[in-house]
Amino acid sequence: MIGLTPHNKDLRLIGGGHSHIAVVKRLGMNPLPGVRVTLISSDTMTPYSGMLPGFIAGHYSFKDCHIDLRKLCQSASVQFIRSDVTHIDPATKRIECRDYPSLRYDVLSINTGSLPALSDITGADRHGYPVKPAKEFLQHWQQWLATATANRLQRIVVVGGGAAGIEILLALRHQVTHASPIQAEFILISAETEILSSHNDRVRDFFLRHLQTLGIRVISGKRVIAVNEQQLRLDDQSQLDYDFIAWSIHAGAQPWPKASGLACDERGFIQVDHYLRSVSHSEVFAVGDCAAFTSHPLPKAGVYAVRQGPILADNLIAQLNNSPLRPYKPQRLFLSLLTTGDRYAVASRGAFFASGKWVWHWKDFIDRRFMARFIPKPMATPDQSGSEPETMRCGGCGAKIGSSILHNVLSQLKISSPPDIISALGDDAAIIDLPGKTHWLQSVDFFRSFLDDPYLLGKIAAIHSLNDIYAMGGTPHSALVTAVIPYSSEAIMEENLLLLMQGILTTLDQEKTALIGGHSGEGPEMAVGLTVNGTLEQNNAFTKSGLQPGDALILTKPIGSGVLLAANMAARCEGAWLDRAVEWMLQSNRAASAILRTHRVHSCTDVTGFGLLGHLQEMLRASQCSATVSLDAVPVMEGAQQCSAQGIKSSLYPHNLKAGRCHSDSSHHPSHALLFDPQTAGGLLAGVPAASAEDCLRALRQAGYDAALIGQVTAFDKESLIALT
């Protein structure tokens, strides 16, 4: 952004664990000049482990116990990359990711947690469900609940007699008995002779009595050695049938840190010193369950990761500034609050024991206070009134010049049209007449960055630019790129340009389009544009001027990307909403264009900066027709209506609203404002003969598009160009 110190160092955080969210929060409050901070996580939503049993039992919603990493990072000006790390190379200081280009680092921190150690149990990698990662376990559990038969007794087994295993077991039982028709028997298997071996006798006695009261069978002092589709085998060679099994045994390490050459203990956990720094690589830090604290072995408990967060933040800052590090001194005892399935809990600390509903409410207060720390405060959003200065301007198609300004400028220019240019000035791409039976298509798009991920930006920019070719019914041929990269250190500028170009090239390769050249430059912020070329058979173009009364209006993608991107800029967009919006933006319109041709489309355009109504108006004016549009039929991206209802709008919205011409008493409709929302990499809007509309719609949906029939073309009415119903 303009005025910020150029980046010259990269701090990368791998994993969205409890320590790293504290680091992101700290750096958001006190940014490091010249340091680019990046969080790399496989998931946008990270669970708070202390509330997961309550979530399973039904006491909390998903949002109550998950931290939105994308929103948190946006509020802290921390780059967020959604990907899995598969390897690091400490010699070259590079991070290898799955389905994402490699990344450089100057200082690296790892907070990826642990997984149940299943390698010693034959078949455990194929049968049963580890409780970590939590997202996958919860998905498997919900799928099992939905498919389990209620006409026979189900046997649910949890393997692991520690606090996590018992809390998960009791939560599963609470959900089954209170929120499902399933009849089930519950079994706990503990390899140790005593459950909860790290807690005092009163805690153990309480839970043994509680499990017995609930009719839960406890098998202790026996270890599971093998599992198949139906049975567990224990080390005394006895067998146990099961229907669902959850693995909550002792922690195991992920394999990639050791394979990357970091010093690890015999179990594969990263060895760190009393500064939380790798004993083998001084620029690498590790915390939480993935780390082995060499000064004092620590149990794998989330409380340590929470307490390590502030120390880690201090030491990362010190490492980057070449300052002395601060030692981490783990607490000797810590408070554990263990839930019993219902709204009842047990407190345990050393010899201390307490239980009751009040303990659950105490825990609930602590957990909710912790979660509240990581809910970003609303930031300024682009002003929509036009009367006050705007504090933030949108990127993507939200950064386009308003249609009224553009039309006024074009009307004052004397633009000549050579005879070999046979398209109208307002069409999506220029048609150049070539000798023979082929036309040449050409179009250009350019916009400021709307995401802090250069690779994703490049992929979406290419999709967006190629839409003009598909909207004309053409076949992409080649592209030239214009890239503007913010000034930073040479290494960071090189990586930014490389990631951007890799994203563009990935999409162009998928779309069978050649990259034939380009231009790059420095600027205050990242921006990208593509000039795209395509071919078209003569007299076979989709244009804006072919609509006929009676045509069905079909839209191939939902709308709402503009308001979601505007909300994201202000850290007010739910991460899951933006993830889904990105998926829509990454969807190519190539197949849609081919399907529309098969069903004899009369007219077509792509929905971009001027919004659905603005681009429909272009088609209607060019065709001398009017139209009716059903607001209820227009597909909308998840979260777009919610953001719009909060008054969040793209900075181009006022211009689109001013240019819109429609007759309607439906301004109260939750989708009304979204009709004027600028779209980036939006869908195709087509006029299809009514007789083929249903078949066309069916084919589009079978091809993966959330397509909808949104209205009908009518005879021209100069008083009512568009009627909303």
* DSSP codes of every residue in 488-523: --HHHHHHHHHHHHHHHHHHHHHTT-EEEEEEEEEE
Name the residue type at position 166.
I
pLDDT of amino acid 399: 43
> Beta strands 85-89 and 94-97: pairing type?
antiparallel
Residue 240 pLDDT? 96
Q: Which ranges constitute the DSSP H helices of 200-255?
A: 201-213
392 and 440 in contact (C-beta within 8 Å)?
no
Q: 283 with 15: CB under 8 angstroms?
A: no
**Tokens 């980057």, residue located:** 320
- Does the pLDDT value for residue 462 go beyond 80? yes
The set of residues, in sequence order, having a beta carbon less than 8 Å from that of 682 and lying 6+ positions away, is: 397, 467, 557, 559, 561, 606, 607, 608
pLDDT at 706 over 70: yes
Name the fold adopted by 129-250: FAD/NAD(P)-binding domain (3.50.50)
User: What pLDDT was estimated at residue 648?
Assistant: 93
DSSP bridge partners of 711 = 553, 629
Closest CA to 477 of 436, 512, 505: 512
User: pLDDT value at position 390?
Assistant: 44
Asked if the model's pLDDT at residue 396 lies above 80, the reply is no
- Ordered by start, the domain boundaries in the chain are 9-114+253-332, 129-250, 428-541, 543-725
Q: How many CB atoms lie within 10 A of CB 153?
A: 10
Q: Which helix (H) or strand (E) holds 309?
A: helix 302-321
Indicate whether 414 pLDDT > 60: no
Per-residue pLDDT band for 412 (boundaries 50, 70, 90) equals: low
Q: How confident is the model at residue 301 (pLDDT cuts 50, 70, 90)?
A: confident
In this chain, the answer to whether the domains covering 428-541 and 543-725 adopt an identical fold is: no
Residue partners of 296: CB distance under 8 A and separation at least 6: 330
The whole-angstrom separation of Cα 267 and Cα 295 is 17
**Rounded Cα distance, 693 and 695, in Å:** 6
**Beta pairing partners, 534:** 441, 476
107/323 Cα distance (integer angstroms): 14
Amino acid at 266: E
**Cβ count near 238 (within 10 Å):** 10
Torsion of CA 567, 573, 577, 582, to 10 degrees: 50
Which stretch of DSSP H or E encloses residue 130?
strand 129-130
Mean pLDDT rounded to a whole number for the chain: 90
- The answer to whether 617 touches 722, Cβ cutoff 8 Å, is yes
Among candidate residues 595, 596, 670, the one with its CA nearest the CA of residue 636: 670
pLDDT in tens, 366-387: 999 999 999 887 665 544 444 4
DSSP code at position 606: E
314, 326 in Cβ contact below 8 A? yes
Judge contact between 471 and 684, C-beta under 8 A. Answer: yes
Query: Given 3.30.1330.10, 1.10.3720.10, 3.30.450.20, 3.40.605.10, which CATH number is that of 428-541?
Result: 3.30.1330.10
Amino acid at 438: T
Higher pLDDT, 295 or 317: 317
Please determine, for residue 518, whether its predicted confidence score (pLDDT) is greater than 90: no
Give residue 421's pLDDT.
53
Most confident of 358-362, 446-450, 643-647: 358-362
Q: Which pLDDT does position 432 carry in this prediction?
A: 57
pLDDT at 702 over 90: yes
Asked if pLDDT for residue 394 goes beyond 80, the answer is no
Q: What angle do CA 223, 228, 230 make, to 5 degrees?
A: 100
pLDDT at 107 over 90: yes
Residue 95 confidence (pLDDT) above 50: yes
End-to-end CA distance of the chain: 42
What pLDDT was estimated at residue 83? 96
Superfamily of domain 9-114+253-332: FAD/NAD(P)-binding domain (3.50.50.60)
Answer yes or no: pTM beyond 0.85.
yes
User: Residue 407 above 80 pLDDT?
Assistant: no
| β strands within 250-393, DSSP E | 251-252, 270-272, 284-286, 291-293, 336-339, 345-349, 352-356
Distances (CA, A) of 67 to 17, 98, 139, 265, 606: 10, 23, 18, 31, 36
pLDDT tens digit sequence for 202-253: 999 999 999 999 999 999 999 999 999 999 999 999 999 999 999 999 889 9
- In sequence order, the β-bridge partners of residue 104 are 94
What mean pLDDT comes out for the span 95-121? 94
Q: Write the Ramachandran bin of 99: left for phi over 0, alpha for psi from -120 to 50, otherwise beta.
A: left
- Mean pLDDT over residues 287-311, rounded? 86
Q: Is 676 exposed, middle or buried (0-12, 13-18, 19+ CB in 10 A)?
A: buried
User: In CATH, what number does 543-725 get?
Assistant: 3.90.650.10
Contact partners, residue 270, CB within 8 Å, separation at least 6? 110, 253, 257, 262, 263, 264, 278, 284, 286, 290, 291, 292
In the chain, what are the helix, strand and coil shares in percent, each to the nearest 5? Answer: 35, 25, 40
What would the pLDDT profile of 40-86 be if each residue is shown by its tens digit? 999 999 999 999 999 999 999 999 999 999 999 999 999 999 999 99
pLDDT of residue 426: 52
Q: Quick one: pLDDT at residue 99? A: 92
Tokens of 646: 């909060």
Would you give the DSSP letter of residue 325?
A: -
Q: Which of 194-203, 398-407, 526-535, 621-630 has the lowest mean pLDDT?
A: 398-407
Just list the catalytic residues: 397
User: What is the spatial distance between Cα 325 and Cα 381, in angstroms, rounded to a whole number?
Assistant: 39
Least Cα distance to 528 among 462, 466, 604 occurs for 462
What does the pLDDT read at residue 434? Answer: 60
Average pLDDT over residues 650-660: 83
Token pair of 118, please? 């299943």
Question: Where does the pLDDT of residue 389 fall: very low under 50, low under 70, confident under 90, or very high at 90 and above?
Answer: very low
